[in-house]
């Protein structure tokens, strides 16, 4: 095979493989965390549980409600469109004198990002609707990346615990100030938030594929990419040993204990009467954690924070009515492209030869921003973030 070699390929750090004993220890850590994560929650049966409740959720939906959120991300397109039309009519009757003032261009851009995020959630949750086009690469099957998977699982718990805390706080005091529009002026902080959202969407897209865990700079070399592609095409057994191809069959995580106890992730503190709805919210977040990973549950919890358990009041502000109007006009599709490109176009000599440092910089920036998801349970502005929650304690 004629494989081109970069001038600096020899100087890139090649990640060391763990010894057999170290690998067994890491796999043991992952199994331990998965057992604690799934106490009282069975990912293998959650689809049946959730989809049995969708018709009732659709019937009970009001603009901006958690039920409305489930309609947008889980109903099939025809049912979603019908429900959205009914919610539009409800909103018009509720606020017959409301005048919706158009937003400026930057707000239209934010609406576009919000729609992209909703459509990505629909794609991530596709298997629950029964429209699965790709296998689910459960995180417990990614043994080649045990350290990173364990780190993501710990971070997912922190994300979910803070989400539970925020939902309960909103039940106590909901000011009807939810919106997808930022108050930040056009500035570096605003640009940073937009960049983080874009990176989060791309990280979610990566979870739809087996080969989405780029680990080391060596993967940016043309030599590595050509070699990897050759092994995948011609020596699939070795490719699986290297972790470049998925196993022939992945084991679906199951509940480590049918009964949950106080303090387990699946258990809510006291939260009023609608226990079924809140359990579905929580379990959907947990399913995303084990089926897709940190970026997916991070996105789900942030988008869910834009919805509420309360009926819109008769004296809602113009800004809130405008946001509700936007939500009932959303028509999220399933057309998200799930294909993942290589870290750079290694087989295009013109692009890779013109400015190779560009691709290195993009890759490193993406890695840095993705790492921030581990440290920040939400990209929304938060006044009182929850303390870190460590699953392994």
- Total residues found in the chain within this entry: 393
In 295-330, which positions are buried (b, 16+ CB within 10 angstroms) versus exposed (e)?
Answer: bbbbbbbbbbbbbbbeebeeebeeebbbbbbbbbeb
Q: Is residue 300 part of a domain?
A: yes
Q: Is residue 172 part of a domain?
A: yes
List of long-range contacts for 376-379, beta carbons under 8 Å, 24+ apart? 377/155, 377/158, 377/159, 377/162, 377/163, 377/298, 377/301, 378/159, 378/162, 378/163, 378/166, 378/298, 378/301, 378/302, 378/305, 379/193, 379/196, 379/197, 379/200, 379/298, 379/302
For residue 120, the model assigns a pLDDT of 96
For residue 11, the model assigns a pLDDT of 42
In 343-359, which positions are buried (b, 16+ CB within 10 angstroms) versus exposed (e)?
Answer: bbebeeeeebeeebeeb
Distance CA 209, CA 313 (A): 43
Q: Is residue 143 part of a domain?
A: yes
For residue 280, the model assigns a pLDDT of 96
Q: What is the dihedral of CA 197, 266, 132, 330, to 10 degrees?
A: -50
Instruction: Evaluate whether 311 touches 62 at the Cβ level (below 8 Å).
Output: yes
The residue segments making up the domain with residue 319 are: 20-375
For residue 43, the model assigns a pLDDT of 94
DSSP state of 10: G
Distance CA 102, CA 309 (A): 27
Q: Is residue 70 part of a domain?
A: yes
Ordered DSSP codes for 298-311: HHHHHHHTT-BSSP
pLDDT digits (tens, 9 = 90+) for 125-174: 999 998 777 889 999 888 888 888 898 999 999 999 999 999 998 888 87
Q: Is residue 1 part of a domain?
A: no
CA atoms within 13 A on the CB side of 205: 17
Instruction: Evaluate whether 237 touches 31 at the Cβ level (below 8 Å).
Output: no
Q: Is residue 392 part of a domain?
A: no
For residue 382, the model assigns a pLDDT of 60
Q: Is residue 393 part of a domain?
A: no
Q: Quickly count: other Cβ atoms within 10 Å of residue 72's Cβ.
A: 23
Residue 161's nearest CA partner among 347, 389, 380, 328 is 389
For residue 171, the model assigns a pLDDT of 87
Residues sharing a CB contact under 8 Å with residue 17, sequence separation 6 or more, in sequence order:
none
Residue 148's nearest CA partner among 300, 387, 370 is 370
**Helix or strand run (H / E) with residue 316:** none
For residue 12, the model assigns a pLDDT of 46
SS3 percent helix, strand, coil of the chain, rounded to 5, is 60, 0, 40
Q: State the Rg of the chain over Cα.
A: 22
Low-confidence residues of the chain, pLDDT below 70? 1-27, 99-106, 183-190, 212-223, 270-274, 339-372, 381-393
pTM summary value: 0.83
Q: Is residue 384 part of a domain?
A: no
For residue 307, the model assigns a pLDDT of 96
Domain count, the chain: 1
Residue 199's nearest CA partner among 297, 299, 292 is 299
DSSP state of 292: T
């Amino acid at each position: 095979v004629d494989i081109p070699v970069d001038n600096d390929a020899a100087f890139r750090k090649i990640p060391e493989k763990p010894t057999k004993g170290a690998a067994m220890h890491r796999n043991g850590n992952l199994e331990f965390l998965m057992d604690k994560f799934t106490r009282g929650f069975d990912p293998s049966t959650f689809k049946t549980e959730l989809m049995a409740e969708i018709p009732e959720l659709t019937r009970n939906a009001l603009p901006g409600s958690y039920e409305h959120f489930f309609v947008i991300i889980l109903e099939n397109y025809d049912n979603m469109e019908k429900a959205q039309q009914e919610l539009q009519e409800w909103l018009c009757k509720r606020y017959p004198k409301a005048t919706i003032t158009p937003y400026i261009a930057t707000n239209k851009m934010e609406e576009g990002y919000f729609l992209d995020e909703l459509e990505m959630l629909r794609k991530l949750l596709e298997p629950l609707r029964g429209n699965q086009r790709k296998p689910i690469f459960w995180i417990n099957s990614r043994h080649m990346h045990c350290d990173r998977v364990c780190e993501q699982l710990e971070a997912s718990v922190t994300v979910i615990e803070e989400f539970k805390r925020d939902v309960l706080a909103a039940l106590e005091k909901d000011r009807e100030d939810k919106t997808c529009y930022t108050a930040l002026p056009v500035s570096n902080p605003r640009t940073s938030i937009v960049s983080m959202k874009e990176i989060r969407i791309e990280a979610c897209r990566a979870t739809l594929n087996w080969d989405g865990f780029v680990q080391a700079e060596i993967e940016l070399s043309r030599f590595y990419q050509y070699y990897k592609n050759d092994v995948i095409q011609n020596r699939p057994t070795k490719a699986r040993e290297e972790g470049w191809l998925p196993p022939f069959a992945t084991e679906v995580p199951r509940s480590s204990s049918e009964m949950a106890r106080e303090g387990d992730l699946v258990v809510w503190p006291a939260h009023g009467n609608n226990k079924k709805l809140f359990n579905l919210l929580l379990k959907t977040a947990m399913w995303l954690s084990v089926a897709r990973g940190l970026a997916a549950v991070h996105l789900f919890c942030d988008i869910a924070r834009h919805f509420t358990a309360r009926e819109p009041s008769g004296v809602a502000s113009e800004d809130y009515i405008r946001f509700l109007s936007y939500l009932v006009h959303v028509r999220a599709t399933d057309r998200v492209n799930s294909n993942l490109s290589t870290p750079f176009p290694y087989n295009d000599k013109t692009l890779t030869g013109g400015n190779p440092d560009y691709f290195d910089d993009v890759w490193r920036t993406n890695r840095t921003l993705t790492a921030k998801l581990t440290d920040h349970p939400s990209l929304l502005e938060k006044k009182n973030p929850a303390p870190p929650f460590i699953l392994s304690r």
